[in-house]
């Protein structure tokens, strides 16, 4: 399975801190290798696991953990933070939901202004495993959320290039995507997946060792203090 390098900022004041972090990662399934840098208070992990799962595991060491970089200078990475429109609660988004890349990064009218599915080749709607001639490039299929409304997933698509989608948007829809297999006309347009219930702009993320910030310029406090104030 493909792996990704993720950089975390972890406050460490002594060797026992390093040992605690290392003990969490040692032997953990899905981790290819890791490096704990005491002097820089930095942990770099190469793993096939979802980033939030790695962060949660590191936090079992008793340390605060902040994601500071993903990928590398040679391999661009991107991130999107999804917001949910008013009127949708966590309970109402349980289950399978369509997940797509959209053509625009315009959030001036929320999820209504992000355009249609990203479709540079002008193809009909399909599923992520379909031939590129039979899908939108932005068709990523479905994700599954749990009772709390949280979805953890990893999607690998051989056709999408990060530099082509930065500045566009991703969105989650209210219903499952039928992958273009349905009988009504909207099946070949959007998989009959319904209203967009969450969306966010795709932005370039800092790569490994590219983010040296330790002070939040908005408040002047450390990143860890800032996290504690907002969590």
pLDDT, tens digit only, all 231 positions of the chain: 678 888 888 989 899 999 999 999 998 999 999 999 998 888 999 998 888 889 999 999 998 888 887 775 555 566 665 665 433 344 456 789 999 999 999 988 989 999 999 999 999 999 999 999 999 999 999 998 887 777 777 788 989 988 889 899 999 999 999 999 999 999 999 999 999 988 888 887 666 666 665 555 555 566 666 555 554
> Is there a single domain that holds both residue 141 and residue 48?
no
Give the pLDDT confidence score for residue 207 in this predicted structure: 62
Beta carbons of 9 and 209 less than 8 angstroms apart: no
Residues 178 and 135: beta-carbon distance below 8 Å: no
Q: What is the DSSP letter of 223?
A: H
CB 143 within 8 A of CB 82: no
For residue 79, list its beta bridge partners: 203
Distance CA 194, CA 103 (A): 17
214: domain range? 4-77+206-230
* 86 plus 184 within the same structural domain: yes
Q: Please tell me the predicted confidence (pLDDT) of residue 213.
A: 58
- 21 and 71 together in one domain: yes
pTM: 0.66
Are 95 and 73 within one domain? no
* Residues 115/104, Cβ–Cβ less than 8 Å: yes
């Amino acid at each position: 399975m493909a792996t990704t390098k993720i950089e975390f900022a972890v406050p460490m004041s002594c060797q026992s801190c390093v040992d605690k972090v290392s003990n969490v990662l040692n032997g953990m399934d899905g981790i290819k290798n890791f490096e704990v840098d005491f002097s820089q208070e930095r942990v770099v992990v190469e793993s096939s696991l979802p980033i939030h799962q790695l962060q949660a595991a590191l936090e079992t060491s008793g340390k605060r953990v902040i994601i500071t970089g993903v990928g590398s200078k040679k391999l661009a990475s991107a991130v999107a933070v999804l917001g949910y429109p008013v009127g949708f609660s966590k309970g109402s988004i349980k289950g399978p939901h369509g997940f797509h890349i959209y053509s625009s990064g315009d959030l001036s009218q929320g999820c209504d202004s992000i355009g249609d599915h990203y479709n540079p080749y002008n193809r009909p709607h399909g599923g992520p495993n379909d031939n590129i001639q039979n899908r939108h490039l932005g068709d990523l299929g479905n994700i599954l959320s749990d009772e709390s409304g949280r979805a953890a997933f990893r999607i690998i698509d051989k056709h999408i290039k990060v530099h082509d989608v930065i500045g566009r948007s991703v969105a989650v829809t209210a219903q499952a995507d039928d992958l273009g297999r349905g009988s009504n006309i909207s099946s070949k347009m959007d998989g009959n997946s319904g209203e967009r219930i969450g969306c966010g702009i795709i932005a370039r993320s800092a790569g490994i060792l590219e983010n040296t910030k330790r002070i939040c310029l908005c408040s002047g406090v450390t990143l860890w203090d800032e996290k504690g104030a907002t969590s």
